[in-house]
Amino acid sequence: MLRMMWEFFKAGLFAVGGGMATIPFLQAMGEKYGYFTSEELLDMIAVSESTPGAIGINMATYAGIKAHGPLGGILATIALVTGPIIIILIIARMILAFKNSKIVKDAFSTLRPATAGLILGAMSTVLVLTLVDTKAFAQTGNFMSLLRPIPLGLFAAFTLILFKFKNLSPLWIIVAGAGIGIVLGL
């Protein structure tokens, strides 16, 4: 359980940019320690996105429970938020002294693209896990069985709808996605 706490502490410390930036860390944790599979990670993301609260905290709680039960969920959540709290306290003490520093401004400018890269990587992982069926491809060897047609079609339809109706409320997008996922068992 200490190893799990250490991994979540590192994820919280280095996943700059919010909960989606924790996904690569969670994926590596699942692969390295076997706490959960890629499919279970997708479920964690879906549940965390659809429940109230910060996605990173929801995912840490869910993953901790999956790995070590309720106590694991509590400890994973505490471990995830400890690093950022320490960083925030340090920055709060020093921000006034260095607010005009070029080095500090450059450091924050560097974090933006790094964070975007982490989130883009997480998004591509989720898309591949959702749209690609490697098991079917391994069984048949047929490239046509590599793509999952229903999720691919739904993704394409949702993308077109989002481009067509740019002012569509995120609430309706989440409700529609959840409804379709429940009906189709995705």
Token couple for 128? 């591949």
Token couple for 136? 């079917």
Return d(Cα 15, Cα 25) in angstroms, integer: 8
Return d(Cα 100, Cα 161) in angstroms, integer: 44
Mean pLDDT, rounded, of the chain: 82
- Cα distances from 97 to residues 84, 91, 179, in angstroms, run 20, 10, 51
Report the C-alpha dihedral over residues 105, 108, 110, 115, rounded to 10 degrees: -170
Give the mean model confidence (pLDDT) for residues 63-71. Answer: 89
Residue 36: which region, alpha, beta or left (left: phi > 0; alpha: psi -120 to 50)?
A: beta
Give the mean model confidence (pLDDT) for residues 5-14. Answer: 90
Q: Is the pLDDT of residue 106 over 70?
A: yes
- pLDDT tens figures, 119-141: 788 778 777 877 888 787 778 87
What sign does the dihedral 85-91-96-102 (CA atoms) show?
negative
Q: What is the model's pTM?
A: 0.57
Q: If pLDDT is split at 50, 70 and 90, which confidence band does 74 have?
A: very high
Return d(Cα 63, Cα 22) in angstroms, integer: 12
Contact 45, 59 (CB under 8 A): yes
Domain boundaries, the chain: 1-98, 102-184
Write down the H helix ranges in 34-101: 38-50, 55-98
Return d(Cα 1, Cα 5) in angstroms, integer: 6
What are the backbone dihedrals phi and psi of residue 44, each rounded to the nearest 5 degrees, phi first? Answer: -60, -40
Q: Is the pLDDT of residue 16 over 60?
A: yes
* Nearest partner of 108 among 85, 120, 122, 91, judged by Cα: 91
